[in-house]
Amino acid sequence: MALLEVEDLHTYFKTRAGEVHAVDGVSFSLERGKTLGIVGESGCGKSVTALSIMGLVPPPGRVVSGRALFEGQDLLQRKSRELEDIRGREIAMIFQDPMTSLNPTLTIGMQITETLRRHLKLTRDEARKRAVELLEEVRIPNAAQRLRDYPHRYSGGMRQRVMIAIALSCNPKLLIADEPTTALDVTVQAGVLALLRELREEHDMAMIMITHDMGVVAETSDEVIVMYAGQVVEQAGTFELFDSPEHPYTEALLAALPQIEGEDVRHSRLASIPGRPPDLISPPPACRFADRCVYASLEDSCTRVLPELRELRPGHFVRTAHPASERAAAPVGS
Amino acid sequence: MSDRAGTTAGRDGEPLLVVENLRKWFPVKKGLIIDRTVDHVRAVDDISFEIRSGETLGLVGESGSGKSTTGYCILRLLKPTGGSVRFLGRDVTGMRRSELHSLRRELQIVFQDPYASLNPRMTVGDIVAEPLVIHGIGNRRSRRRNAERLLEVVGFNAEFINRYPHEFSGGQRQRIGVARALALNPRLIVCDEPVSALDVSIQAQILNLLKDLQQEFNLAYLFIAHDLAVVRTMSDRIAVMRRGKIVETGDAEQVYTAPRHEYTKALLAAVPVPDPHKMLARREERRRLAASVEELV
């Protein structure tokens, strides 16, 4: 049995202009101890997917339908009281902004022990001892003293380490990391990613890594989901995805990415993707990438009917009528 | 506009911009009634570089390294503590208000945040034409024509002129910011993290636009960014900043393929590359460099 199985998740936001289909039919499964990367641009629904699983979708959003089976139990059917016992204990989450995820008026120690006492019912002394161990585990020097400090005494990278310590405090089976290194400098990011990798192995913890950065996905994930306009457009093992991307969107995204090595690109243009993602209030009943896709022509059925997510090769799923391996050499109308 | 390509930038073929021993120290003050300066934050500490006409210098570094402060000192949005900034042969550091006014006809800036840098109560046409108003160029009608032309230059329909910023996406707003910077036909534009708030596909559109404009108008850029890959696609030469100092400068390809300074090496090794095959080798490289960078402190 998979650790987490998400089936046909739909999360909509009611607005005055209509209902925004932020997540529109997302399914995936995650095995114990594995890392799944969810990558996509802003507004593609990657964060809302995570919030839906955790029961944290802010109003006016709501999960309209779907299932999220965690160890066989549907999280979406749980009462909020029951979810409180799961969140932080079984499934932990870290967010993008370590500056605002910590309470500035409480010491770091108080914020770590809060979780321990809530979920594990430790005494004050036990919790304090455990907090020191946790800070040491995330490589914060002078842990015992630093427990007494307030968050403003910590740098951005250190705060994210504290968030990781809090997330790990109850030995969760799943860690959801939502853009955990986006606000950090590259050298700090490298340190935090290395730490996450080590801790994940030590604790045999599964992880969902949500990011816009293809590089971060390549570094951290066993398997990758590419999201576009509220849907999964491609899913494959990490090596498979980067070696032979099939969806025109994945290809375009990789081509648009400036690189630190390879061909000298100073005097050439970057491949860009024309247009913008569709309005998710009344999404077209067609492939959502069709009007930006260089391979789709008006006669194609994909401009009228939404292509299914189909398994092109074992473990490699794609939602397009024009996967790279089935395409004629010359793109249509590029 | 483009006939400028042939003219030399300053006197005696001097580069367009010459920065020498630039310093910007911010005082750290203490005391309730009588302020005492107890220390300084050396945001920019003795840096020198040049930018030639039509060239891009990429200024790269991590947060707090002083790259934006450098940009602000060049535009005199901040007054430098020491050193000199010469633009077109004139010293910027000692300029009076009226001189600065004319300086900024030649020297413009594009800001990072396309949401905060456009006045939400002004139409796009008024935003783009505002530099012309401030500098008293043309009349109402000619300015409107100019604004339409500028909007077309950055890839918009001239009919957008009466719209407001909220009607545009982040990438489109950044185009408006670029159009405004172009209004006075400058020679040098300081681009301060112009694409860091944008998605990859949109980012590519803006970078291409900046490249096209550079060719068309023979613009020089000081391109400030933390993203090493973005800086590489834009720059002829690179300056790497760390803690207020430039630790390495050189031709872009040389800096990326054969970095000399340990910090540059560590910075490049830290970038996550979208190729899982390279992962193990890069991790090894990072571990190796981490130790030597610690020693740099």
**How many other C-beta atoms are found inside a 10 Å radius of the C-beta of residue A142?**
10
CA-based angle A315:A320:A321, to the nearest 5? 120
- For residue A168, the Cα-to-chain-centroid distance in whole angstroms is 18
Is the CB of residue B200 less than 8 Å away from at least one CB of chain A? yes
Do A173 and A41 share a structural domain?
Answer: yes
Half-sphere exposure of A112 (CA within 13 A, CB side): 34
Cα end-to-end distance, chain B, whole Å:
47
Q: pLDDT digit string (tens) for A50-79?
A: 999 999 999 999 999 999 999 999 999 998
Collapsing DSSP states into helix, strand and coil, what is residue B274? coil
B256, containing H or E segment: helix B252-257
Q: How far is A157 from chain B (nearest CA, A)?
A: 12
Which of B67, B200, B202 to mutate: most A Cβ within 10 Å? Answer: B200
Q: How far is A273 from chain B (nearest CA, A)?
A: 5
**How many other C-beta atoms are found inside a 10 Å radius of the C-beta of residue B13?**
9
DSSP state of B263: H
Do A251 and A191 share a structural domain?
Answer: no
Cα end-to-end distance, chain A, whole Å:
45
Do A194 and A149 share a structural domain?
Answer: yes
Q: Quick check: A189 and B268 CB within 8 A?
A: no
CA distances from B217 to A267, A272, B131, B231 (A): 16, 22, 18, 20
Q: DSSP string of A300-326?
A: SGGGTSPPP-EEEETTEEE--S--GGG
Q: Quick check: B232 and A242 CB within 8 A?
A: no
State the average pLDDT over residues A27-33: 95
How confident is residue B3, by pLDDT bands cut at 50, 70 and 90?
Answer: very low
Q: Quickly tell me which residue has 């960078």 as its tokens.
A: B293
Partners of residue B141 on adjacent β-strands: none
Q: DSSP string of A204-255?
A: T-EEEEEES-HHHHHHH-SEEEEEETTEEEEEEEHHHHHHS--SHHHHHHHH
For position B131, what pLDDT does the model report? 94
- The encoded tokens of residue A327 equal 């395409």
Phi, psi of B246 (to 5 degrees): -90, 120
> Between residues 32 and 61 of chain A, which touch chain B (CB distance below 8 Å)?
41-42
Query: CA–CA separation, A239 vs A241, rounded Å?
Result: 5
Contacts of A259 in chain B (CB under 8 A): 229, 232, 273-274
Nearest to B204 among A42, A256, A259 (CB): A256
CA torsion angle for B236, B239, B240, B245 (degrees, to 10)? Answer: 180
State the average pLDDT over residues B113-131: 92
Q: Quick check: A269 and B232 CB within 8 A?
A: no
Is the separation of the CB atoms in A44 and A233 below 8 Å?
no
Partners of residue B225 on adjacent β-strands: B60
Do A138 and A245 share a structural domain?
Answer: no
For position B12, what pLDDT does the model report? 52
Do A250 and A139 share a structural domain?
Answer: no
Answer yes or no: is pLDDT of A101 > 90. no
For position A331, what pLDDT does the model report? 53
Is the CB of residue B184 less than 8 Å away from at least one CB of chain A? no
Q: Quick check: B229 and A260 CB within 8 A?
A: yes
Do A197 and A293 share a structural domain?
Answer: no
Residue B11, Cβ density class (10 Å: 0-12 exposed, 13-18 middle, ≥19 buried): exposed
**How many other C-beta atoms are found inside a 10 Å radius of the C-beta of residue B7?**
8
Answer yes or no: is pLDDT of B7 > 50. no
Contacts of B234 in chain A (CB under 8 A): 266
| Mean pLDDT lowest among A224-238, A317-331, B22-36, B146-160 | A317-331
With CA atoms as reference, the chain B residue closest to A185 would be B62
Q: Quick check: B253 and A239 CB within 8 A?
A: no
Q: Does residue A126 sit within a domain?
A: yes
Q: Quick check: A185 and B266 CB within 8 A?
A: no
Q: Does residue A19 sit within a domain?
A: no
Which of A239, A259, A267, A279 to mutate: most B Cβ within 10 Å? Answer: A259
Query: CA–CA separation, B161 vs B144, rounded Å?
Result: 9
- The pTM (predicted TM-score) of the whole model is 0.90
For position B296, what pLDDT does the model report? 62
Do A41 and A98 share a structural domain?
Answer: yes
Q: Does residue A20 sit within a domain?
A: no
For position B10, what pLDDT does the model report? 44
Do A315 and A210 share a structural domain?
Answer: no
Q: pLDDT digit string (tens) for B256-284?
A: 999 999 999 999 999 999 999 998 899 99
**Of A206, A228, A250, which residue sits at a domain end?**
A228
B102, containing H or E segment: helix B97-106
Collapsing DSSP states into helix, strand and coil, what is residue A202? helix
Q: Does residue A205 sit within a domain?
A: yes
> Between residues 151 and 170 of chain B, which touch chain A (CB distance below 8 Å)?
169
Collapsing DSSP states into helix, strand and coil, what is residue A8? strand
Q: pLDDT digit string (tens) for B209-238?
A: 999 999 999 999 999 999 999 999 999 999
Do A241 and A209 share a structural domain?
Answer: no
State the average pLDDT over residues A183-206: 90
Query: CA–CA separation, A148 vs A107, rounded Å?
Result: 6
**A-B C-beta contacts closer than 8 Å:** 114
Answer yes or no: is pLDDT of A159 > 80. yes
Q: Quickly tell me which residue has 């030590």 as its tokens.
A: A202
Q: Which residues contact A2 (CB under 8 A, 6 or more apart)?
A: A29, A30, A31, A32, A69
Do A140 and A92 share a structural domain?
Answer: yes
Do A297 and A154 share a structural domain?
Answer: no
Q: Does residue A114 sit within a domain?
A: yes
Q: Quick check: B235 and A266 CB within 8 A?
A: yes
Q: Are strands B82-87 and B90-91 parallel, antiparallel or unpaired?
A: antiparallel
Task: For chain B, give the longest Cα–Cα distance.
Answer: 63
Is the separation of the CB atoms in A162 and A154 below 8 Å?
yes
Do A221 and A193 share a structural domain?
Answer: yes
Structural domain range at position A205: 32-45+80-228
CATH number of domain containing A37: 3.40.50.300
Nearest to A185 among B63, B236, B293 (CB): B63
Is the CB of residue A201 less than 8 Å away from at least one CB of chain B? no
> Between residues 108 and 127 of chain B, which touch chain A (CB distance below 8 Å)?
none
Q: Does residue A68 sit within a domain?
A: no
Domain count for chain A: 2
